[in-house]
Structure 1
């Protein structure tokens, strides 16, 4: 009970601190940009369909960029900022379990990220469903002109909207389960990535640099390897969650396509294991490491 109370105390005290941080403002601005981009795309004549305006930003901008980037920015400094500010000794000399420092602060970080991603994906959905009834599908348009020799020429321009994309939002609403799958993927991705980088910050002097390298170099490399090597990346399991729910729609995106992918239960189980192991490893390190502050 003392362990739980102390963890909640660190969660409560770190929450206002992370909300005031400049890095949190950067993440919030990035999240606020997503619905604005969707509104702009839906205003383009002969632009993408509403279902595409939801799927493309949701995957490329949120899951591939914002989720790992936000986790690196906010999660990697949970412990390392105290070391850099030379204030870690004030926390470690208190008669409390050291692991509660990491767990309570990570919980505050995960809370803030969850609220942000619920807001940005909810805003994206609202914009798409608001504009869907008034959106007009692209139809082939034939243009005629006369060349220098007086001969008439014709050309068909603008692509035709695929019938399956039109059918996906016939009633003006997103297909059943699509929004929920994206939301769960974003929340789990933020939780797992932030736990990984928080654990990394307990033992590394430059966790943000290492975290950025892992999220946007190693993960990208692993997720594009053929065969079972993709299963070594977090992105593989996030993509599995999407494909398990709406394989026909997500299969249109080349980066999401997987020859074989885990079921929803398998992906959730693996992500939960990675989350628990990361927090356990970080708790073990902070409980046993002696932090020596240089002069």
Structure 2
């Protein structure tokens, strides 16, 4: 199911000069904020949780997911170069699965790792805050990658739609509107963090069993549907 050649081409596309620059900006900003907050406030568990929850999970992870998820396939579809890949003797579900693995790896590397480091800068992992939010970033990376990979296969405006989803739904509605929280990847991932972090520091409106089921369901469904969309994508000259 995993094709090294497809993976190599996908890494090259996702980590191109322009996208790589954007990918480094958000983690760098998180670390800068963490250092500034620690310098001004000292080690504070609640402040650490607020920074990691408010910026890392609510903003940084979904935005990196947009860049990695849509970037793993969207540009190839937009410029037509996907036809060269589809013409190779590689099963289309294998192409989607490989691109998903790449998107997940990139999203995790640029979101979970800096979240972990920022957590230690903020409060030295007091009450397991750094680990809790790192776990949240890891599981959210999987779901976001699948969702935005699907978006890249179904729309030529995947980046714009993804940014609207990340900035409006996840960052705004997913954080502030009670009803929308239950349909937010952010809240699902925070449910896992809540079980790890100190009591009262992390909150989620979704119970752990439901969160795990929703994360798994969305990831599997999005990956399957992306495979179906790619399967029916016609090459020039195909009947």
Q: TM-score, normalised by structure 1?
A: 0.71
Q: Which runs of 5+ in 1 are unaligned?
A: 130-171, 251-255
Secondary structure, counterpart of 1:248 in structure 2: coil
In the alignment, is residue 69 of structure 1 matched against residue 63 of structure 2?
yes
Query: How many aligned positions are there?
Result: 234
Structure with greater strand share of residues: 1
Q: Name 1:266's counterpart in structure 2.
A: 210
Largest Rg, 1 or 2 = 1
Cα separation, 2, equivalents of 1:184 and 1:241: 7
In the alignment, is residue 103 of structure 1 matched against residue 97 of structure 2?
yes
Q: TM-score, normalised by structure 2?
A: 0.86
**1:5 to 1:267, Cα distance in 2 relative to 1, 3 A:** closer
Cα separation, 2, equivalents of 1:92 and 1:267: 35
Structure with greater helix share of residues: 2
Equivalent residue in structure 2 for 1:248, among 200, 212, 215: 200
Secondary structure, counterpart of 2:15 in structure 1: helix
Q: Does the CA-based 8 Å contact 2:46-2:201 persist in structure 1?
A: no
**1:239 to 1:5, Cα distance in 2 relative to 1, 3 A:** closer
Equivalent residue in structure 2 for 1:175, among 122, 127, 136: 127
Q: Does the CA-based 8 Å contact 1:50-1:128 persist in structure 2?
A: yes
Q: Write out aligned runs for 1:1-295 (5 A).
A: 4-6=1-3, 8-44=4-40, 47=41, 49-129=43-123, 173-176=125-128, 178-219=129-170, 220-221=172-173, 224-227=176-179, 229-245=180-196, 246-250=198-202, 256=203, 258=205, 261-263=206-208, 265-290=209-234
